């Protein structure tokens, strides 16, 4: 730091004075030239901004110049300095002879100067009254002009030298120079070095130690406090180490960096030195091991991290092994040579047979290995693909059972993209193949079933078609039958008509009188012909009903008038029967809308049946109306022979008369009731029978009051 001299003078006027007085006081009380010189130079460094300074003193007369104090100068330069006053041509010797300072501008010179490569002033040390200088003060300079303090110091030192020279021997001066050299050496050491008393009180410290333990006057509060703390720590360290260690003690000492406030770790080497005059000293060398400790810590930390990482890797590996082993499928890892580097337990069973000497097993294990190797080499040749899938034929090493497996391989590449390993997982295909086989069988069976169903369906369709045709054929046959019966009954009637006609003519004496036996025979012919005619008519009726050729012809009529008509038509029979025939009309019987002719036919039939099968008693016809069902009921009740329960269904069947002998005396075709029932159905009604054998029967025709078209 170079400051302007004028600025310093102005600024530090008051302080300057005080400092100068303090320095003068020191010089006056001090009898050691070297100490004086050092103090003076330090003062210059502090107050005049001198960066480098050297004080050289000379014996009176001729002789070498000795360096007694320096500031900011390398120790090498001090050691190399050699100058005698006899060398009169030397610029520094000449400068010493002058009364004014000599300026050297820093350009290279043919001799060595302690202040190297810098401009400097060489100021002779002389008091005003002195004829010759006692030495030289060399101070680095920033310009030709000399700082006033420098000349002032040179004068003060000159006076001091003159004052002390009479008392101080050269030897002392020489000793001083050696001491100075020692100082500079100590200062040159980068480790702090201290000389203390046994209490730790500082006697000598090099500049590095001073930084730690001595705070300069202008130091900050923090610096001073840190220095005080360091002193305390140091004293404490010394006192504890002094107990056990007689010669040399080595221990760690933690101090504070006064400038940065950070912790500094030192290794403290202290040894005692005994001096006859002064007593016991302690020499301490502090070696900064802060960085070392930090490095050690870091190494330990990395080591610990490494250990943890290793443990983790071990755990990971262990877990991986567990996982791989727990997979039921064999897993193998092979290197690029095709050699197995890792496999799980299931894989081991296939490719390694530990503890088994059986020749067959070993052979099969080798065969499996060969198969795997050829698969892996396939994978290796297909380096472009990440996944490779294939099938391998292996064998169970123990049993030799064929073991088809599906192999899925993946390649693991290094960061550089080189193929490192091939991971292969084998999957047992036995089950899959078996399943596929079963599935195939199932499919076959399903196809078979479907075929059978189709066949059956086709057959069913054929049968349906057949049935349909048969149905049509049957309908046609039925129609033909009806037509045939209709034709037949017509053809029957033509000759029958003639028979009846001629019989009638004979009986009416058209061809002349007939005898009684002839008449009897003719009567038999007549009655049998009529019976035959009735049969033919009934068959014709049934045929017409079944052929659907008897349509409903609905008109409105009263049941009462129908009763009258039926009675009138059967009048001859009623008369002949000697039975009491009555009719009853219950209240509320309405006019009926139905097929009058068919209703009448039914009533004629029921009444003639009742008359026919009732030897004595009565026949009653009753009409009633069920207003809820809107149904007319016509009941024909007789007191005749009756019908046993077991026969009550049969009487409605075709050609059924309970007594089927022709000589039964009741006549009729046996078709009447079956026709009545058919007619009742056409009308939307029914015929019911209630009867007790021997007590009579009641036939009831039920009809809707209004017949619906069917």
Partner 1 sequence: MKPASTTAREQPLVLVVEDYQDAREMYAAYLQFSGFEVAEAGNGIEAIDKTHELMPDIVLMDLALPRMDGWEATKRLKSDPRTRHIPIVALTGHALAGHAEGAREAGCDAFVTKPCLPDALVTEIKRLLDLHRPNAENAKDGARTPKASKKRS
The footprint of partner 1 (CB under 8 A) covers: 486, 490, 493-498, 500-502, 504-505, 508, 510, 530, 533-534, 537-538, 540, 544, 549-551, 569, 601, 604-605, 608-609, 667-672
Q: How far is the CB of 673 from partner 1 (least distance, A)?
A: 9
Q: What is the dihedral of CA 680, 681, 684, 686, to 10 degrees?
A: 60
Question: What is the β-pairing status of strands 279-288 and 263-275?
Answer: antiparallel
3-state per-residue secondary structure call for 121-163? EEEEECCCCCCCCCEEEEEECCCCCCCHHHHHHHHHHHHHHHH
Closest to partner 1 by CB, 334 vs 605, is 605
Per DSSP, what are the bridge partners of residue 488? none
Q: How far is the CB of 455 from partner 1 (least distance, A)?
A: 49
Closest to partner 1 by CB, 280 vs 523, is 523
Distance separating alpha carbons of residues 128 and 137, to the nearest angstrom: 16
Closest CA to 353 of 374, 369, 339: 369
Closest to partner 1 by CB, 427 vs 493, is 493
Q: How far is the CB of 543 from partner 1 (least distance, A)?
A: 10
Closest to partner 1 by CB, 245 vs 496, is 496
**What DSSP letter does each residue of 437-455 carry, written as one string?**
HHHHHHHHHHHHHHHHHHH
Closest to partner 1 by CB, 60 vs 495, is 495
Q: How far is the CB of 586 from partner 1 (least distance, A)?
A: 26
Q: How far is the CB of 564 from partner 1 (least distance, A)?
A: 15
Distance separating alpha carbons of residues 141 and 161, to the nearest angstrom: 24
Distance separating alpha carbons of residues 212 and 350, to the nearest angstrom: 75
Q: How far is the CB of 501 from partner 1 (least distance, A)?
A: 4
Closest to partner 1 by CB, 149 vs 538, is 538
Q: How far is the CB of 610 from partner 1 (least distance, A)?
A: 12
Question: What is the β-pairing status of strands 279-288 and 193-197?
Answer: antiparallel
Q: How far is the CB of 544 from partner 1 (least distance, A)?
A: 7
Closest to partner 1 by CB, 238 vs 581, is 581
Closest CA to 43 of 154, 118, 146, 141: 154
The answer to whether 328 and 428 are in contact (CB under 8 A) is: no
Residue 191's contacts (CB-CB under 8 Å, 6 or more residues apart) are: 208, 285, 286, 287, 288
Closest to partner 1 by CB, 392 vs 499, is 499
Strand order in the sheet with 102-104: 65-71, 53-58, 135-140, 120-125, 102-104
The answer to whether 477 and 484 are in contact (CB under 8 A) is: no
The dihedral region occupied by 583, where left means phi > 0, alpha psi between -120 and 50, and beta the remainder, is beta
Q: Which two tokens stand for residue 175?
A: 């000793």
Cβ neighbour number for residue 622 with a 10 Å cutoff: 18
Q: How far is the CB of 669 from partner 1 (least distance, A)?
A: 4
Q: How far is the CB of 615 from partner 1 (least distance, A)?
A: 18
The answer to whether 661 and 652 are in contact (CB under 8 A) is: no
Q: Which two tokens stand for residue 438?
A: 């079963």
Q: How far is the CB of 525 from partner 1 (least distance, A)?
A: 13
The answer to whether 95 and 115 are in contact (CB under 8 A) is: no
Closest to partner 1 by CB, 186 vs 607, is 607
Distance separating alpha carbons of residues 127 and 514, to the nearest angstrom: 222
Closest to partner 1 by CB, 192 vs 672, is 672
Closest to partner 1 by CB, 188 vs 486, is 486
Query: What ranges in 547-657 are assigned the alpha helix state H?
Result: 559-569, 571-577, 596-612
């Amino acid at each position: 730091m170079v400051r302007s001299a004028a600025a310093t003078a102005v600024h530090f006027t008051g302080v300057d004075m005080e400092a100068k007085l303090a320095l003068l006081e020191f010089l006056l009380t001090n009898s050691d030239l070297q100490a004086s010189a050092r103090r003076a130079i330090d003062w210059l460094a502090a107050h005049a901004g001198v960066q480098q300074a050297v004080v050289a003193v000379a014996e009176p007369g001729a002789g070498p110049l000795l360096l007694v104090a320096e500031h900011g100068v390398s120790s090498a330069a001090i050691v190399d300095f050699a100058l005698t006053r006899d060398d009169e041509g030397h610029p520094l010797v000449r400068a010493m002879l002058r009364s004014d300072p000599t300026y050297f501008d820093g350009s290279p010179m043919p001799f060595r100067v302690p202040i190297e490569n810098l401009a400097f002033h060489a100021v002779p040390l002389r008091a005003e009254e002195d004829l010759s200088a006692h030495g030289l003060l060399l101070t680095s300079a920033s310009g030709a002009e000399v700082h006033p303090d420098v000349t002032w110091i040179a004068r003060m030192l000159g006076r001091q030298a003159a004052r002390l020279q009479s008392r101080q021997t050269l030897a002392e001066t020489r000793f001083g120079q050696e001491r100075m050299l020692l100082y500079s050496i100590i200062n040159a050491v980068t480790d702090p070095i201290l000389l203390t008393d046994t209490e730790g009180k500082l006697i000598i410290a090099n500049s590095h130690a001073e930084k730690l333990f001595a705070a300069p006057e202008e130091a900050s509060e923090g610096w001073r406090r840190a220095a005080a703390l360091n002193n305390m720590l140091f004293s404490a360290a010394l006192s504890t180490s002094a107990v056990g260690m007689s010669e040399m003690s080595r221990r760690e000492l933690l101090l504070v960096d006064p400038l940065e406030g950070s912790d500094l770790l030192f290794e403290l080497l202290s040894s005692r030195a005994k001096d006859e005059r002064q007593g016991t000293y302690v020499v301490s060398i502090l070696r900064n091991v802060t960085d070392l400790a930090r490095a050690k810590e870091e190494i330990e930390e990395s080591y610990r991290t490494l250990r943890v990482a290793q443990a983790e890797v071990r755990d990971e590996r262990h877990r991986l092994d567990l996982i791989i082993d727990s997979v039921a499928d064999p897993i193998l890892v092979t290197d690029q040579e095709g050699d197995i580097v890792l496999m799980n337990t299931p894989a081991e069973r296939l490719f390694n047979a530990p503890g088994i000497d059986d020749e067959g097993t070993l052979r099969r294990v080798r065969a499996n290995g060969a198969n795997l190797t050829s698969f892996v080499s396939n994978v290796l040749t297909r380096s472009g693909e990440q996944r490779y899938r294939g099938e391998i034929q292996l064998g169970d090493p123990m049993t030799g059972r064929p073991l088809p497996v599906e192999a899925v391989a993946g390649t693991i590449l290094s960061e550089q993209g080189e193929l490192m390993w091939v991971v292969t997982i084998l999957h047992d295909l036995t089950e899959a193949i078996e399943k596929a086989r079963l599935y195939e069988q199932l499919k076959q069976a399903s196809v078979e079933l479907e075929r059978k169903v189709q066949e059956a369906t086709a057959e069913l369709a054929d049968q349906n078609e057949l049935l349909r045709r048969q149905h049509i054929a049957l309908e046609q046959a039925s129609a033909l039958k009806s037509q045939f019966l209709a034709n037949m009954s017509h053809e029957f009637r033509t000759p029958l008509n003639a028979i009846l006609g001629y019989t009638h003519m004979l009986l009416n004496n058209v061809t002349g009188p007939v005898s009684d036996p002839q008449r009897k025979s003719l009567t038999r012919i007549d009655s049998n012909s009529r019976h035959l005619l009735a049969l033919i008519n009934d068959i014709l009726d049934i045929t017409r009903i079944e052929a659907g050729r008897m349509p409903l012809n609905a008109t409105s009529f009263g049941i009462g008038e129908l009763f009258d008509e039926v009675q009138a038509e059967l009048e001859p029979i009623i008369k002949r029967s000697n039975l009491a025939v009555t009719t009853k009309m219950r209240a509320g019987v309405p006019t009926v809308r139905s097929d009058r002719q068919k209703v009448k036919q039914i009533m004629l039939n029921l009444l003639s049946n009742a008359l026919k099968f009732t030897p004595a008693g009565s026949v009653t016809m009753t009409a009633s109306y069920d207003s809820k069902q809107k149904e007319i009921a016509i009941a024909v009740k007789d007191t005749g022979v009756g019908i046993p329960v077991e026969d009550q269904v049969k009487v409605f069947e075709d050609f059924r008369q309970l007594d089927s002998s022709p000589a039964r005396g009741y006549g009729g075709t046996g078709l009447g009731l079956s026709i009545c029932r058919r007619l009742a159905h056409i009308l939307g009604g029914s015929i019911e029978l209630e009867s007790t054998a021997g007590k009579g029967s009641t036939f009831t025709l039920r009809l809707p009051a209004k017949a619906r078209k069917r």
